[in-house]
Amino acid sequence: MIEDKTPQRTSLSDLGEFGLIEHLTKNFEITQPSTLKGIGDDAAVLDFKDKKVVVSTDLLIEGVHFDLSYMPLKHLGYKAVVVNVSDIYAMNANPTQITVSVAVSNRFPLEALEELFEGITLAANEYNVDVIGGDTTSSQKGLIISITAIGEADGNEITYRNGAKSNDLLVVTGDIGGAYMGLQVLEREKQVFQVNPNNQPDLDGYAYLIERQLKPEARKDIRTLLHALEIQPTAMIDISDGLSSEIIHLCKQSGVGCNLYEDKLPLDPQLINTCEEFNLDSTTVAINGGEDYELLFTVSMDDFDKIKGNPNFTIIGHMTQESEGIHLITRADTKIQLKARGWNALQQE
């Protein structure tokens, strides 16, 4: 048996803009009761009744935000949606719709765009959001994705960045630093591959970290969980740029300080092992590595009993008076001022 390994390539210009949009969007179904009209008119029409509306937007550029040499297009489509709905969850709101705009250069065949939209569709189903509009056009270079996410919440549920009070507990969901170390593993394998293209990638033992980088999930469960526990966070943000950067945002907007405890940081064992192998300090990775898409929030001390012991939550510090500053308390009990170095800065170290 001889297999035809030539991948099918259909040129985008064969379809034209309207044909392309129709082809790519035909699988999107409307399931949210707030969506009155989705794709197909000058604009979508939504009805949120007495709910408040929450809106967030992100622009992703090839070579800046993602590298297609190790990011499969389907994963990229999925992640682009995750990044945006994560912002809606960070308001303690429920995502309901997204718009998706894509620009591609001629080097992408139709099949590549289909893969991208397959990932977008998967994520839209997973997070129960309707794709209600967008734009498909050509770019001069590379792939560009712009997603706007829309969500809904009752007015009293919405959680801003500016409500943290001194003595509030600082809580993070899940574990952190994994997405950054996943990227380090992928970068290393890319370099090995560039030296010797016959080399097979060695990704055994890094599965969790790579998944955190290539297929992150937004914490859609937390809103329900907080509701069930009758916890109203005082402030909340999602971890996209890195824990220290997000803590500084919360502190500045709330007018408080913070003590973050190194020994409380939730790290996966695979992260600790891989940091050792790469000769990187796991605390530095955990507080400066970004793209974890976990939620970081503050709660009143009164909620301590509801938070402690819940496997989804880790209390990593507490808020202080603004004048006390923003510090990491190390295992050796020294105080180090937190700086927002974020993702890019760390890579240059």
Applying CB under 8 A, which residues contact a second copy?
Answer: 18, 36-37, 40-50, 52-59, 61-65, 87-88, 90-91, 93, 97, 99, 101-103, 132-135, 137-142, 144, 146, 148-151, 155, 158, 160-162, 236-238, 253, 340
Residue 159 annotated as lining a ligand binding site = no
- The verdict on whether residue 41 carries a ligand-binding annotation is no
155 labelled ligand-binding: no
Place of tokens 């819940």: 310
Token duo for residue 120: 């977008």
Residue 168 C-beta-side C-alpha neighbours within 13 Å: 29
Residue 283 neighbours by CB under 8 Å, 6+ apart: 262, 265, 328, 330
Residues 6+ apart with CB under 8 A from 37: 44, 45, 132
Cβ at position 64, least distance to a second copy in Å: 6
Ligand-binding site membership of 58 (annotated)? yes
Nearer to a second copy, 20 or 267 (CB): 20
CB 15 → a second copy: shortest distance, Å?
A: 14
- Give min distance, CB of 52 to a second copy, in A: 5
Residue 183: exposed, middle, or buried by beta-carbon count in 10 A (0-12, 13-18, 19+)?
A: buried
| Residue 114 marked in a binding site | no
Rounded-to-integer distance, Cα 130 and Cα 99, Å: 8
Q: Cβ of residue 224: shortest distance to a second copy, in angstroms?
A: 18
Write phi, then psi, for 227 (nearest 5 degrees): -65, -45
Calpha distance 298→206 (Å, rounded): 31
**115 assigned binding-site residue:** no
- Cβ-based neighbours of 96, under 8 Å, separated by 6 or more: 32, 34, 35, 46, 128, 129, 130, 150, 151, 152
Comparing CB distances to a second copy, the nearer of 12 and 275 is 12
Taking the complex as a whole, the smallest distance from the CB of residue 220 to a second copy amounts, in Å, to 15
Contact 163, 256 (CB under 8 A): no
State which residue, 56 or 121, has the beta carbon closest to a second copy: 56
Shortest distance in whole angstroms from residue 90 CB to a second copy: 4
Residue 31 among known ligand-binding residues: no
324 is in an annotated binding site: no
Q: Return the number of the residue (149 or 265) whose C-beta is nearest a second copy.
A: 149
Nearer to a second copy (CB atom), residue 174 or residue 185: 174
Residue number, 90 or 176, with CB nearest to a second copy = 90
Taking the C-alpha atoms of residue 99 and residue 274, their distance in angstroms, rounded to an integer, is 37
> Residue 149 is inside which H or E element, if any?
strand 144-153
- Binding site for ATP: residue ranges? 134-135, 161, 240
- Binding site for Mg(2+): residue ranges? 42, 56-58, 87, 135, 238, 241
